[in-house]
Structures are given as structure tokens and as C-alpha cells.
Structure 1
Amino acid sequence: MSFENFRVPYEIDANYSTKVAYFSMEYAIHQPLKIYSGGLGFLSGSHLRSAYELRQNMIGIGILWKYGYYDQERNQDQTLNVTWKEKTYSFLEDTGIKFQVTIHDHPVWVKVWYLNPETFKTAPLFLLSTELPENDYVSQTITHKLYDANAATKLAQCILLGVGGAKLMDILNFNPEVYHLNEAHGLPAAFYLYQKYQQNIEEVRKRLVFTTHTPEEAGNEKHDIYLCHKMTYFCGLGVEEVKSLIGEYSDMFNHSLAALRMARLANGVSQLHGEVSREMWGKYGNICPIISITNAQNWTYWADKHMYKFREVGDDYGLDDRKKWMKKRAFEIVADQTGKLFDPDVFTIVWARRFAGYKRAGLIASDRERFAELMNNTKYPVQMIWAGKPYPMDHPAIGEFNELVHLSKNFKNVAVLIGYELALSKRLKQAADVWLNNPRVPREASGTSGMTAAMNGAVNFSTDDGWIPEFINHGHNGFVIPKADYRNMSVYDQDQYDLNKLYEILTGEILPLYYENYSTWRQIMKNGMQDVRFRFDSSRMAHEYYEKLYNA
């Protein structure tokens, strides 16, 4: 295949003719391609799938991570062991394209791999690698580990994605009308364009859009501006020039703030997150407008089609039988990993996503007495599964994971699984009767795991954060912990309030309904399946990106 004057290799729908280059540090496209860590990757993977289904004129740019994010294994005592193994992919095509980018005032060779749209039914994806014999070892390590803990290496990764991706667009002669930064990792592309267009910031703004995923200012990445300059992050601009261009004179370079001042338009990833972002960034001034485009997931990839067919024809027996069969299949993974035999007839709670402090993986178990009472309940038996990957250097999150591992040893009906990637994620959503989601409000920008859970017959039970206010109608299609006046609460009081409400709703509403009025429970499950089907399918999201962000 020739990559000269590259065009998207399928017929473009006229509604989506605007040429878009989509920059993301991670893509969760299919289980065999391990270049993702969590929600950001799940989102960009679904986005590329829907871009393909809608025949959009979009291409993705990412990085081919030699060791992926990391491999989740166990120590002898079952606690978490972080390992890195080299990944190889026979299905990626060598484009034959090699070029250089400047990182740390040093030329670094970049090799380009291509994921054909027909391989996994996605928009075309180009993946950059520095794993070349022409590079010294330090340069090769740039594409070793996703989100490397070393600040200089992480900045080098951002330069590779942004400058390397923008330079690739020129080499391909693709000429994007829109450069879409999914998070601020690819921001160096803006400085590349600034130099390309003779330092005319309006020419950059015309082409640049930005999606922010972080609802807290402290969570947005900042680096020493002199380190950024030393790494050649600014494509040859001096520190004072950058400060003047961005209109920010601190020595800490705020990547998101810079993106908001260099883009023409940005979006938050839920209605609530859009509001939080406008309030959070509004005080800075001179930022672009921030709209809301709520995240979604690809129904074609995630949904259990058999359940939807049974639902459509009103076959409740078929629906129940299918759900029970999916639970049984998933429980074989539980048995294989933990030696515990779970029962598909027993109500099963699953908490599975990235382990991070604000997501409060262990909230339900933080009151040991109440948790033991729940797990030993003979009238309404319960099974509990945890899974997820902490960031490999996030020691508090790893500690929380390991604490739950040790807790699980006291119960036959509690399991903590490893290897939480796309395949296990789908199985656990199929295993869940309730998909538990309890982030500290308003810390979750969107969260999408509950969408794909509902697509597999799991009922969402959540704090009222992220996408949830747009979805859950309590007792109709899910269950939600009502908001309190969190702004005037300490973190401890917020956690206690949410914990008490969690148990109140779980033991007072959910369990009696499941065991004593299953027909109503089934209806709630069916309502959730229906309500998530179109409003939270990424085809709606991909359409809105063209309508509200690219063509606006």
C-alpha cells in the first residue's frame, strides 16, 4: 500500500468530509493490541470504531508502546506484581516511513506503523515508534512504557505524539483541517503548527480543538517550563516567547491551560464536566469556549447482541437464561484465578476500573463489620468482584488493591482479579448484576464503564457524578446515591455519607427487589439496556464531535 498523498481508504460520508487528525496517547481497540491503560484509551478506541462505522474522514495518531502499560501479575501472596513484557503484533503494517524529530536538542528517528481499518473495523490508525537501531538506547526508551514515571521521558513522549504526529501529517500530505487533541498530551503539535504557519497563532487556532478529561485543576499536568524547553517541547521557541504566547508567566507550564489558549474550541466529556471545566478555567481568562460532548462507548463492540434480541422480542426467559449463562462463563475466570466457585444464581456486585484514590475501590468494604454482614447474608446472598489496574507507581492505589486481596481471603464469595484489559472488562460486565461506581463527586469527568455494563445487562449503582446525571432515573434504569452538599463537607464526611447511603439503598431497595420481585428487577435492567443503546453509543458521540467541535 502506498502512503503518499494518504486518503482514508473507504468512501467518506458527505456529512463527515472534514479532514481530522485525532491525537491520543492510548487506544483500547481490541484485546491483542495492548497500547492503553484505562478510560482514555477505551474512549479513543470506541471513537475510532464509530468513525469507521459512520465513514468519517478521520485518522488516529498514537504511539506503539513496546511494553504496553504493564502486565498485571501476582506475587506469591496473591498481591499485585507489576511486570513489563515485550509486545509483538503481526497485524500492524510497516509503512516504510521513517523521519526525525528533535527531542532534547537531539535528532530522534521515528518509525511509523499502520493499523488497517479492516483489521478491527476502525478509522485508520498510525502508530509511532522510536524502537530503531539508528537511535541510542535512551531515545528507544521513549516508546517503551505508556505514561513513563520519569518527567523527562514523559515530556519526550508528548513531543513524539504531538510533533511526530503533526510532521507525519505533512509527510502523508493528508492536510488535516482539524487537529484534535484528546487530552493535552499531544500539545507540542500546536507549537509545530505555530512554527509551520510563520508564528501566526490564528492559523493554529483555526485548526486546533481540545478535549479535556480532568475535572480538577490539580489533576492537570504541569511541568517546569525550563525542563520543557530543554526537552525541545516548544519547537525552538524560547521560554519568554512561550510565556508571552500563552499569556501565563509562571515557571510551571500548565499543559491544559496552554491548550485552552491555543485552541479555538474545547469540550468537557459530560454535561456536568463541561460546567465544572468552565467554572474551573474561567477565572484564567483568554481561554477558548468549553462545550460539552458526553463520552460514549461503541455498542457494536461492547453489547451482548443476544440479550438485545431477547429484549426486543419480549422473551424474558431467553433474557434471564442468557444473563445467567454469561455470569457462569465469567465465573470460570474467577475460579481459574482465585480457586473460588461463584454461583450464577447469586446476586453479584462488580467494581472494576482503574484503581485511583478518588474512585474509592474499597468504599463498600471500608466498614468491615457491615461488609462482613453483607457477605454473610443468607437471606439475600451476595458475591463481590474487584478488578482494575492501579498506575504502576501509584503506591497508595496499589496498597488499596493489595488490602482488598487480603480481605478477599476471608470470604469464599469475594474475589480480586488481575489482568483487567478489554477482554476481562467485557466478561465482568456480563458477570455483574450491579455495576458499582462510587467516585467522590465531582471528581469523575465522565466515566464510561457503566455504559458498557448496561449494554451487557448490568444495572448501574453509582454516585451522581460524570455521565450518571444524564442517565440514571433512580429505580427505573439504575440506582443513584443522592447528592449531598459536598462542597461544605470534609472528605471524611463525604465518604461516610456516601457509604451510609450505599448500604441503605443496597440493603433496603436493591437486594429485596432482586430476590423478591425479580420481574421488576428485570425491567430495570431492560430499561438500562434501552436507555444506553443510542444516547451513550459512540456513534452519537462521533457525530457530535463533527457537528459541535470540528465543523463549528
Structure 2
Amino acid sequence: MSKYNKWYHPYEINEKYNTRVAYFSMEFGIDQALKIYSGGLGYLAGSHMRSAYDLRQNMIGVGMLWKFGYYDQTRTEDQRMGIQFQKKYYSFLEDSGIKVEVIIHGSPVWVKAMVLRPDTFGTVPMYLLTTDIPENDHLARTISYKLYDPVQETRIAQSIVLGIGGAKVVEALGGADIYHMNEAHALPLAFHMYGRMRNLEEVKKQIVFTTHTPEKAGNEERDIELLNRMSFFGPVPLEEARYISGMHGEQFNYTLAALRLSKIANGVSQLHGEVSRQMWYGNEGISEIKAITNAQNVPYWRDQKLQDAIDRNDDKALTLRKEEMKRGLFEIVADQTGKLFRPDVLTIVWARRFAGYKRADLLLRNIHRFMDFISRSDMPVQIIWAGKPYPFDYGAIEVFNRLMEMSYQRPNVAVLTGYEKNLSKKLKQGADVWLNTPRRPREASGTSGMTAAMNGAINFTIQDGWIPEFARHGENSFLIPICDTSLPDHVQDDIDYDHMMRILEQEVVPTYYRNHGQWLAIVKQAMKDVVPQFGADRMADEYYREIYHAPMSQPNGHAVSQHSQSMAH
């Protein structure tokens, strides 16, 4: 029997963080070797688990053990994006000895909890759930095969496994004081708890919720009758589930229900908090929505040699280390594309999840101007794209393919595949400019720019997500002016493109080549500013102070106590 079949931490809990928290997330980006993540949501959750360990917090993570991960991104022979699903095996996971039963579509399904030990990657204990065990039939075993499966019934079943199965695993460990839903995928846990307690106020005292996106695709809606047939509401009858969640129509919105079933909620940047309140405060019965800005685990992401040069104020060592880091990235470029990039050339990187609103191809809006830009010999540039589209977002895949085809025979433009944690780290270390081009205000946070800044890359960015809290044009970043968001999308794109190219041509590139002292000053200021404000230790501490320890809020965001109101500001 494993010692991990009880609430266990390998350290003495810091008394500031004694509240027992179970953190539920559909994905965790903890290490390259554990492929149970797709992008930013997972990276954020992984950093949170690392910093919770560093701070000795009384927390565990609850997630899914995906047999095929998300997907493996490849390059086909005709220079298009390929998708592969390969079985994953992890020798470092341990059987917790915990096995629980959930009901899906009226039938029993067994869920086993595997443990990621804290000393493996430096996280709090992680309990990863799988249905791929002999006790289940083939269909039940496939529930934990693929992260974000395109079949809606499978997605619903995954939420039941994470929410209800995860809640039962936590109960087998002795229970928690707070259940934190990182996005609403784990929502069935609220109905499970209500079925056990039959007291909505008591349930809400134990649940907190983080919403991560203003995008419709990130706020799941399903037919409520289908959810009921699938046993999404656990032991709670449909009409009672309608009543406690305030859902009276045919469509059931996960995010709205989570806001009604939590004591408090938060967005993931100050701007996203405002956007979320505008989105949801018109609905009856929802909790207060605060804002806790996302952050990233500094020891994992930051290059220590680069930081040492900053600490010594040694510009020569800083420049040499940055060149070494660029060479590390360029080895990958050469391996994947056959192109030899130069460390003395300004290198611009656009790398993140491919989605329409992120505008990966904004640089190509005027293809003639783009070609002129990449063809200059007096102030040359190198451009790299990387990122994974959702495997069934064919529009995003087509953008990726178009970029790949455009780059094929151009020696200073590359598109890389396999955007996972190791490549992500190399891209941030090797970039001079970290380009970020979402349509404002649709990027909730955009944490990649934080880890880029930690590694000497200057953010050149739309003023969305976390950026308004950090960036000062010409001091620690370059900023694209704010566009009128009431304009049609294509007009916004034209305006943002013109501003972006003007600043690139007139400020960014000339500063790098003609005033390198000023360039280094911006790099150093960004590295100083990004930590500790955007290190995950701050975030992990703030969740305890402002979310887990917060009092109950009244419906529609009005806090019960004056203390809660003051914390929100």
C-alpha cells in the first residue's frame, strides 16, 4: 500500500498555507516528460503546483492521466502539419492504491488514481486519474485516452471522471477544505458534493473557481438533457440540478454554473477580471469575480546564468550568454528545417497556441511589405513561428500550413513543430523579440511573455492580458497602440498591422542594430520587472490570501464583508 493513499506532503506545512486545498485541472504542464497538457492552461497549472511545493503549501493536484496525451505534432513530406497519437508510458508514476467508482450514462466506471511523487519534478503530490484499467470495458477505458477529445459524449465523461472521480479520490485521502476548479471542466464535483451534503451554502463554502478565457469555445455549453442522461449531475435529479445551478433553458453553460456554485471566483489578469465581470455580472446569483494575475515558476523557466549576468550588471556576460541561448534554439531550427540562423541577427519569435484570435499570420497581412521586411541586408531579421492548433480546428491548422509553406525556401524564416515545454523554453531563451498579436481583449492572460522576459526576450505586444500590468513602451517592452475594439475585426487587423510594422521598422529593428546599449537596458529592465510580480510564488500566495481564505460573497459579486471588498481592490 502506498503512503500516497493518505494526505501526504514530504515537508512541514507552512502555517500560512495550512488550509487543505485540492486543485482540479484537466491539464498540467509540469515537465516535458509528462505529456498531459496542451498549452497555456496546463503551463499555468504546472507552475502553480511547483510554486505550491516551493512555498510548502497544503495542496494536492488532481488531474487526468492521458494515455495518448494531447497529440504529437509532426511535419509531413509536403511541408504541412501532421497529427499523431502515440501511447505514453511513465515509469515514474506510482499506484496510489485508490480506486473509485463513478456512474457514466447510468453504468459504473472504475477510476484509478496514479501518483506523481513530489520529489520527481518538485510539485505538490499529484493524483492523476485513469479509466484505462482491466475492470472497465473498452468504451470506458477510452475516456482517459485523449485530452480534449472531439466527441462531446467523451468530453462529458471526462468531466465526470475528473470532477466526481477526483472528488471521491480526495475523500479517500481524508477530504479537503477547499476544492479549486481551474476552469469548469471539473464541475460535476459540485453536484457530487451537493448530493452528499444537501446544503448548497455549505457546498459553496468549499468551492472556488478560476475562469481563464472570454472565448466562447473556452466556456463549454452542452444540452442539459444530454448531461442528465450522461450522469453529469451525479445523484442530483435534473430539476434540482436546474434549481441549484440556475439553468432553466435547454443549454447548460459550465462557466455560469461554476460561478453560481462557488463561494468566489477569479479571472487571470486584472484586465481579464474586468472583462469577466462585464461578461457575467448581468446574470443572477453568481459569486464575486476577483482578479489574480497568472504567473510562472521562476526556478523552472529562468536561465540562471543570464540572471547572474544581470545581478553583476555585466553587459558583456549578458550578451555572450544570450548568444549561447540563441545558438541552442538555432540547433533546433537547423535540425527541423535545414536552415542556419545567425546569433548576431535580430530574432523575432511568435510561439503559442494557434487560434484565430491570436492572429499568428498578422505579419503576413501585406505580403509584399513582409517580404521587403525580411529581405533587408543592412538590418536583417530572422523570424520563427511555433505552436499547436487544436487538432480539429481546421482553420488554425490551415494558418499553420500556410506559414509553413511560405517559410519553406526562405533562409531566415522558420516554422517549428512539437511546441511542448522543452521547445517553449528554448524559444524564449533564443528570442530577441517575443511577438504577441491577439485581438484585444480576448487574451485572458498570455503568460508566455512572462517567461520570455525572464530570459532576455523583449515583449513586442498588443496591450492585452497581463501586459497592461507590466509593460512600458521603450523601457521594458515595445507596445502596439490600443485599437478601438468596437470596429469590425478586419479594420482592427489593418490598424494593428500598420502600427506593428511601423514600430518594427522604425523602433525595434533600429534600436537593436544602432543603439545596442539601449536594447540591453530594455532587456535588463524587463528581467528586473517581471520578477517577483509575475513569478508563481506570488500567485500561489495570493490564491491562499484572496481566494481560499476569502469569506462567502453575495450573488452578483457583492462581497459579504468589508474586508472582502477591500481585498478586491
TM range (shorter): over 0.9
SS in 1 for 2:23: strand
Aligned match of 2:525: 527
SS in 1 for 2:532: helix
SS in 1 for 2:531: helix
Say yes or no: does 1:432 pair with 2:443.
Answer: no
The 8 Å contact of residues 220 and 255 in structure 1, kept in 2 or not, is answered as: yes
Distance 1:52 1:537 in 2: 14
Q: C-alpha offsets along residues 54-74 of structure 1, whole Å, 9 cap, x if unaligned?
A: 000000000000000000011
The 8 Å contact of residues 428 and 457 in structure 2, kept in 1 or not, is answered as: yes
Deviation at 1:410, TM superposition (A): 3.9
Distance 1:210 1:513 in 2: 43
SS in 1 for 2:164: helix
Aligned match of 1:75: 76
Structure 1: gaps (5+ residues): none
Aligned match of 2:555: none
The 8 Å contact of residues 428 and 452 in structure 2, kept in 1 or not, is answered as: yes
Q: C-alpha offsets along residues 505-531 of structure 1, whole Å, 9 cap, x if unaligned?
A: 111111110000000000100111111
Query: Displaced runs of 4+ in structure 1, greater than 4 A?
Result: none
SS in 2 for 1:108: strand
Report the RMSD for the aligned CA atoms in angstroms. 0.9
Distance 2:420 2:113 in 1: 25
Report the residue type matching 1:391 in the other structure.
Y
The 8 Å contact of residues 225 and 251 in structure 1, kept in 2 or not, is answered as: yes
Q: C-alpha offsets along residues 106-126 of structure 1, whole Å, 9 cap, x if unaligned?
A: 100111100110110001100
TM-score by length of 2: 0.95
- Out of 480, 487, 490, the position equivalent to 2:488 is 490
Q: Mean alpha-carbon deviation: is it higher for 313-322 or for 8-17?
A: 8-17
- Out of 494, 497, 500, the position equivalent to 2:498 is 500
| Aligned positions of 1:13-24 closer than 5 A | 13-24=14-25
Deviation at 1:490, TM superposition (A): 0.4
Distance 2:313 2:170 in 1: 50
Aligned match of 2:566: none
Report the residue type matching 2:225 in the other structure.
Y
Aligned match of 2:302: 303
Deviation at 1:218, TM superposition (A): 6.1
Aligned match of 1:243: 242
Aligned match of 1:255: 254
The 8 Å contact of residues 460 and 479 in structure 2, kept in 1 or not, is answered as: yes
The 8 Å contact of residues 191 and 241 in structure 2, kept in 1 or not, is answered as: no
The 8 Å contact of residues 267 and 292 in structure 1, kept in 2 or not, is answered as: yes
Distance 2:435 2:181 in 1: 30
Aligned match of 2:348: 349
Report the residue type matching 1:195 in the other structure.
G
The 8 Å contact of residues 220 and 255 in structure 2, kept in 1 or not, is answered as: yes
Aligned match of 2:331: 332
Distance 1:355 1:520 in 2: 32
Q: Mean alpha-carbon deviation: is it higher for 326-335 or for 215-224?
A: 215-224
Q: C-alpha offsets along residues 278-326 of structure 1, whole Å, 9 cap, x if unaligned?
A: 1110111210000000000000000011011001111110000000011
Q: Mean alpha-carbon deviation: is it higher for 322-331 or for 240-249?
A: 240-249
Deviation at 1:4, TM superposition (A): 4.5
Q: C-alpha offsets along residues 79-115 of structure 1, whole Å, 9 cap, x if unaligned?
A: 1111000000011111222221111111001111001
SS in 2 for 1:223: strand
Aligned match of 1:509: 507
Report the residue type matching 2:189 in the other structure.
A
Distance 2:184 2:100 in 1: 23
Identity of aligned residues (%): 56
| Aligned positions of 1:270-419 closer than 5 A | 270-419=269-418
The 8 Å contact of residues 217 and 280 in structure 1, kept in 2 or not, is answered as: no
Aligned match of 1:181: 181
Residue-pair matches, total: 549
Distance 2:297 2:193 in 1: 32
Distance 2:81 2:6 in 1: 47
The 8 Å contact of residues 4 and 115 in structure 2, kept in 1 or not, is answered as: no
SS in 2 for 1:535: coil
Deviation at 1:219, TM superposition (A): 4.0
Aligned match of 1:267: 266
Report the residue type matching 2:63 in the other structure.
G
Structure 2: gaps (5+ residues): 551-569
Report the residue type matching 2:134 in the other structure.
P
Distance 1:471 1:268 in 2: 17
The 8 Å contact of residues 179 and 206 in structure 2, kept in 1 or not, is answered as: yes
Distance 2:285 2:172 in 1: 33
SS in 2 for 1:176: coil
SS in 2 for 1:462: strand
SS in 2 for 1:398: helix
